[in-house]
Structure 1
Amino acid sequence: MSTSSIAANVQEDKMVTTVRPNQYAYTWEIQNCSTWLATVKGLQSSFQFPYDESVTEKWVLNFNPRSSSEPDYCSLGLEIVNTPLDSKAKIEVEFELSMETSTGCIIQKSTFECDFAKSNTWSYSKFIKREMLLEKVKIDDQLFIKCKIVTDAKVSNDKKLTKKLPETLPGSLSNDLKNLVDGEKYGDVTVQVADQRFLAYKGILSARSSVFASMFEHDMLETIENCVTIDDIEPDVFRELLRYIYTDQLTLTSMDTMAHKLYTAADKYDIATLKSLCRRHIMAKLRWKTAADTLVLADMHNDHEMKQETLQFLSGSVAVNVTKTTGWKTMVQTHPHLVNETVWALAAKLPPT
């Protein structure tokens, strides 16, 4: 047997050690919510979850439509009902409890960290005001109670039997197309942005953006002269927009420095995936210094999801700091109605006097 034939069929054994947290997500859907709230009394519990029988750790959501200590509020809690731990052991748990409408609008959301012992229960007696909950679900009378749980990391060792195969070269399509962003050959349309010109490709622009497609399909000046003038986007922003159109990729640096501007461009040119990426980055980086600007952005582009999450953020303890920012002061002048919406969001979270 030749050396080459041995190398081509070599068998490789592996042991794979992984460390990963136990993560669970659970949704409790309540239909005819207003009737249910008026009918049930006392503590209501979900099924035990996760449903997977191989998972020994089981949890239950506990909901009380009238909190025992605060009757005007609904309480929501988490209980561990089965665990492989002994009676004295504890597990560290990070969990998120939220209530949402059928459209995904967040009514209330909070994140907690707690040590759970065996048969341990945790509850938030003032999770949401009953009157507010009824108001939020009255459109279609549906409530979704959601829970996300992350517990202690689990170490597992697995045997892995693999057959070594010849390596293939990695795909280069994205990198090859990325070279077109600053290229000066072969393009069939020129895009003039301020004092910079970009050579682009009608086919790619049209395939990725319905706005560009509509522009090139009709006998518009852009089609006749093969030149498009854009005067409301900065050249650097358009370059990143073009990079995404060609490669479906963005750099972390560009997102950190121009996410708001890219979001605006994505909305204008109907590039939904880019808009979604920008929205996710903006909300992940939401801080009191950027909250007012983000609220204005969401309002200008009719982004209900972003707007509601930002108002929820503003209704917390950061509100005082936000009012000191330049973004807030500008918003007061240009979008005064958002000040009222922020005040209403804050008032909804304050306890009754």
Structure 2
Amino acid sequence: MSRVPTPPPPGEMTSGPVAESWCYTQVKVVKFSYMWTINNFSFCREEMGEVVRSSTFSSGPNDKMKWCLRVNPKGLDDESKDYLSLYLLLVSCPKSEVRAKFKFSLLNAKREETKAMESQRAYRFVQGKDWGFKKFIRRDFLLDEANGLLPDDKLTLFCEVSVVQDSVNISGQSNTNMLKVPECQLSDDLGNLWEGSRFTDCSLFVGGQEFKAHKSILAARSPVFNAMFEHKMEESKKNRVDISDVEPDVFREMMVFIYTGKAPNLEKMADNLLAAADKYALERLKVLCEEALCNSLSVENVADILILADLHSAEQLKAQAIDFINRQRHDGGASSNHSAKEENGLRCAVYFGRHLRNGLKGSAPPLLCVSMCSYVPAATDPRPV
């Protein structure tokens, strides 16, 4: 959902005259997207005017406004019988009406958007009403393999919706003495404080390297460091912490995050950084690592990522990895398109995923699960995780 910005000072709204009073109106717009894949599209037997519908979708789990896409594979009527017709339908809505713009496109074999069409204005929707394009794309062009719009006979539609919400007015009086407030530099200032080792009061030794830090900042950011320094532990007495299970470059990245809230090299070391974030209870960093690993999921690495997620109770990452496995199996992921190594890796992930699903966490040691990749029998494949 777009946020209402702070209105600019009246003198900056225009280069012209400044009024004594002003009003800033922000029309709130909720934007979201939906992707719909129809497998074996060439086998759709619907006649002219007959409909295929997607499942319902919304802008989020708490949005009661539900939408769906409606396709007429052989057109809506005689005029459009040589075309595919595509519509956006408002299925249910707590309001009497709503205005929305929409954009439709196809994803080609390279997952690129093509053949996009969008509404020129925000249309008025009521429950049960649809808007769209009777002549979205010619069927002969769509079915021509040379155009690459039906890879593996799959039609993938991409829809972007912009729903107009209520407008918000912000008004006020002009102030000739309005001051410009500088941007907050807290993150940069704390980062410089640590990088310069200024006023530090403890040392952390990692892989032979010393990292100087501030106990108060470590304690404020990490419940683990807080407990370490709050109680009369050896580390608190000596102002020294020895860490043996984190690599220096990973620890440095974690310290940068502790001081600045940023992790510029996160994607390069997301797996190891996730383990460190879990150890020191840095929940935001942990979820950021989960997000990076979700974006890198592949047949080759899903087994390793699933095991990593289980070891560190990364529940969101675990759920995404299991969903990825199910999609691969459902779509025939372990087909001739994959090497034997990829095939075995996916079988291993399926096997391990079933243990997680059945609540047997920790029943198969990680190294054993990895070794299983070489011999999990294919007979176990078809069942989803």
TM-score for the superposition, normalised by structure 2: 0.52
Q: Name the CA distance, whole Å, in 1 between partners of 2:10 and 2:31.
A: 36
Matched, 1:289 2:300: yes
* AA in 1 matched with 2:266: M
Cα deviations by residue, 1:319-353 (Å, 9 ceiling, x for unpaired): 46486269949x79813288699979953249xxx
| SS at structure 2 position matched to 1:298 | helix
Question: 1:277 aligned to 285, 288, 294, which one?
Answer: 288
Residue number in structure 1 paired with 2:244: 231
1:114 partner SS: strand
Aligned to 2:382: 347
Q: For residues 247 and 232 of structure 2, what CA distance do their matches in structure 1 show?
A: 27
Aligned letter for 1:261? N
Aligned equivalent of 2:189, options 171, 176, 200: 176
**Number of the residue aligned with 2:114:** none
Residue 128 (structure 2) aligns with: 81
3-state SS in 2 of match to 1:198: strand
Report the counterpart of residue 341 of structure 2 in structure 1.
324
SS in structure 2 of the partner of residue 51 of structure 1: coil
Kindly provide the CA deviation profile for residues 138-180 of structure 1, in whole angstroms up to 9, marking residues without a partner as x: xxxxxxxxxxxx436689xx99999795432111100000113
Counterpart in the other structure of 2:220: 207
Structure 1 counterpart SS, 2:59: strand
Answer 1 or 2: which has greater strand percent.
Answer: 1
The offset of 1:271, in angstroms, is 1.1
- 1:55 lines up with 2:64 in the alignment: no
The DSSP-based 3-state class of the residue aligned with 2:91 is coil
Question: 260, 273, 292: which is aligned to 1:247?
Answer: 260
1:268-297 per-residue CA deviation (whole Å, 9 max, x = no partner) reads: 011111111111221122222321221120
Work out whether residues 99 and 163 of structure 2, in 8 Å CA contact, stay in contact via their aligned partners in 1: no
Q: 1:240 to 1:342 in 2, by over 3 A?
A: farther
In 2, are the aligned partners of 1:255 and 1:278 still within 8 Å (CA)? yes
Q: Which amino acid aligns with 2:199?
A: Y
Q: What residue number does 1:128 align with?
A: none
Aligned residues: 246
Q: CA deviation at 1:183?
A: 2.1
- Give 1:208 deviation, angstroms: 1.2
Displacement, 1:249? Answer: 1.6
Q: 1:143 corresponds to which residue?
A: none
Q: CA deviation at 1:203?
A: 0.8
Which of 146, 151, 154 does residue 160 from structure 2 map onto?
151
Q: How does 1:31-46 map to 2 (within 5 A)?
A: none
What does residue 25 of structure 1 align with? 59
**Higher alpha-carbon deviation: 260-269 or 19-28:** 19-28
Which residue of structure 1 lines up, in the alignment, with residue 11 of structure 2? 10
In structure 1, how many angstroms separate the alpha carbons of the residues matched to 2:225 and 2:315? 26
For structure 2, the 5+ residue unaligned runs are: 1-8, 15-23, 34-57, 63-89, 102-126, 138-153, 350-365
Query: Cα–Cα, structure 1 residues 204 and 281, in superposed 2: closer, same or farther, change >3 Å?
Result: same
Q: 2:369 aligns with which of 332, 336, 342?
A: 336
Please state whether the residue corresponding to 1:335 is helix, strand or coil: helix
Change over 3 Å in CA distance of 1:328–1:227 after alignment to 2:
farther
Q: Distance in 2 between matches of 1:342 and 1:53?
A: 56
- The residue type paired with residue 94 of structure 2 is Y
Cα deviation per residue 1:173-199 (whole Å; 9 max; x = unaligned)?
A: 000001133222211100011121111
Instruction: Answer yes or no: is the 8 Å Cα contact 1:57–1:83 preserved in 2.
Output: no
- Between the aligned partners of 2:231 and 2:26, the Cα distance in structure 1 is 58
- What's 1:312 paired with? 323
Kindly indicate whether the alpha-carbon contact (under 8 Å) linking 2:257 and 2:263 is maintained by their aligned counterparts in 1.
yes
The TM-score normalised by the length of structure 1 is 0.56
SS of structure 2 residue aligned to 1:190: strand
C-alpha separation between the residues in 1 aligned to 2:369 and 2:313? 16
Q: Give SS of 2:241's match.
A: strand
Query: Which residue, 181, 185, 192 being the options, matches 2:198?
Result: 185
Are the structure 2 counterparts of residues 152 and 184 from structure 1 closer, same or farther at C-alpha, using a change threshold of 3 Å? Answer: closer
Partner of 2:112: none
Structure possessing the higher relative contact order (Cα contacts under 8 Å, 6 or more residues apart): 1
* Contact 2:290/2:317, CA 8 A, preserved across alignment: yes
Unaligned 5+ residue runs, structure 1? 1-7, 29-46, 59-79, 92-110, 116-149
Relative to 1, partners in 2 of residues 1:290 and 1:50: Cα closer, same or farther, differing over 3 Å? Answer: farther
Deviation track 1:23-75 (CA, whole Å, cap 9, x = no partner) reads: 533659xxxxxxxxxxxxxxxxxx933434342569xxxxxxxxxxxxxxxxx
Aligned-pair RMSD on alpha carbons?
A: 4.5
C-alpha distance 222-296 of structure 1, shift in aligned 2 (>3 A): same
1:299 deviates by 2.1
3-state SS, counterpart of residue 268 of structure 2? helix
Question: What residue is the counterpart of 2:50 in the other structure?
Answer: none
| CA distance in structure 1 between the aligned counterparts of 2:226 and 2:181, rounded to whole angstroms | 36
